Structure 1
Amino acid sequence: MILLIAIDHQLHTPMYIFLSILSACDLCYSSTIAPNMLQNFFAERKSISYSGCYVQMYLFICLADIECLLLAVMAYDCYVAICNLLLYMVTMSTQRCSQLVAGVCTVGLVDAMIHTCLTFRLSFCRSNVIDRLFCDIPPLLALSCSDTHINETVMIAFVDSIVVSSTVSVLLSYVCIIYTILQIRSAEGRHKTFSTCACHLTAVVMFYGSQLFVCFHHTFNSTEEDKIASMFYTVVLPMLNPLIYTLRNREVKDALRKAVKECLIKS
């Protein structure tokens, strides 16, 4: 997806630029978790170093925040494209897109630093077994013998605020989008308009569904449901996103056919 959007000038629009950033985020996101997870699946002694755990947690939180907020930005982009098409290029200018991406990345970097620093300032004098598939905040707090009240409060406040605010933003965008689509008289026009954001809506439902499950299922003792949900949004979903946007997007499929044809001609 990243290479395809980079080489095809017809895909150099805000929607596909955001999609290429989302693809890069998915690539880094899963690469932060999957290698150590796969190694531990096949190793007799399942372990991760202290510094490795620190880095993994920081990158995981940062990339999760970026993906969460980026999906909200893409929902806003869909809203402008459908509900305010005449002013689309003005509203979603290169400068505005750069500001949105910079803001998303800044929130991710700062939020991850706060959580990671607060977590690793604690003393860990209990079991060294992390009851999760990767280094996450709740299972590490369960291992600490320090007072974790501040950590728990900050985690709930920041994580829930980011997820809930992003979810509300997406819902408001799609309420406006659906209202605009219903005003279109022809069924073909409604279907064509809705198809422009169907891929994004599919990715949103899967990502926010798993995130909201974790948010409203806060527990500092891991359960099997938590592990399954974390596996889904850290490994499965980043793998599915490129397939969703490729298989259900006509412009991407056309660009892919064009790129393959050009490669075959050159070879």
Structure 2
Amino acid sequence: MTPRIIDTNVNLSRWPTRRVRDDETTRLVTTLSGHGVVEAWAGSFDALLHKDLAGVNARLAHECRVQSRIRLVPFGSVNPAQPDWEEDLRRCVEEHGMPGIRLHPNYHGYPLDHPAFAQLLALAAKRDLVVTLCLQMEDERMMHPAFRVAPVNPAPLATVVAKTPGLRLLLLNSLSVIRGQALQKVIQAGDVSVDLSTREGVGGVASLLEEVALERVLFGSHAPCLYFESAILKLKESALAPAQLRAVQEQNARRLIPTAR
């Protein structure tokens, strides 16, 4: 039986420094649907460098809306270091009906102890939004010499999460940046989950489930930056039980965003 998968971590548009496979939406959707993906939460590569995030988010919402093969769910970008970021957040919710947002602190130039970051999380929680926080987007070995961006420093995150009641936070591309006790501290601070896109090593997902509660691990491919098939392989070589597979592939994501939204 073909699995039902919710991919919590894909991006539309083009990576700034090179072409990657499936960087056209129709091709990406074909790849996803061919592997059993029924829903994908999509950000936009344009959000990394474009200053006009309102335009980026409007294009993202349109691109997701015109796709019918799978359900593409747009996650608009908000930069709390910019003036009028509250208006960008309002548009994401009220104009585009987005159930969540995607944040890129290292590209947008603010640390996680920035007061506006805490304000954004609080407002997102008040609006019942899922916040997806990217700790990195590209492996340092792949970076263009003129386009080197350090990963987000996650040290302040647990404190900020603990002070934000109602926050639902999903860390993307995080497992090569935060590990061990530091990761557990953040997850224990609130309703925090992780995607598996950057989990490496033999039996990586199985060993992750020994560190993190099952309900806090979600399927995410980081396609098309990474090959979608690599995320599928992570599950296969970890030999998870059927109930664990269903939870990681679909049920845990559905807890954050019910079908009706």
In the superposition, the TM-score normalised over structure 2's length comes to 0.23
More helix by share: 1
| Larger Rg computed on CA atoms | 1
In the superposition, the TM-score normalised over structure 1's length comes to 0.23
More strand by share: 2
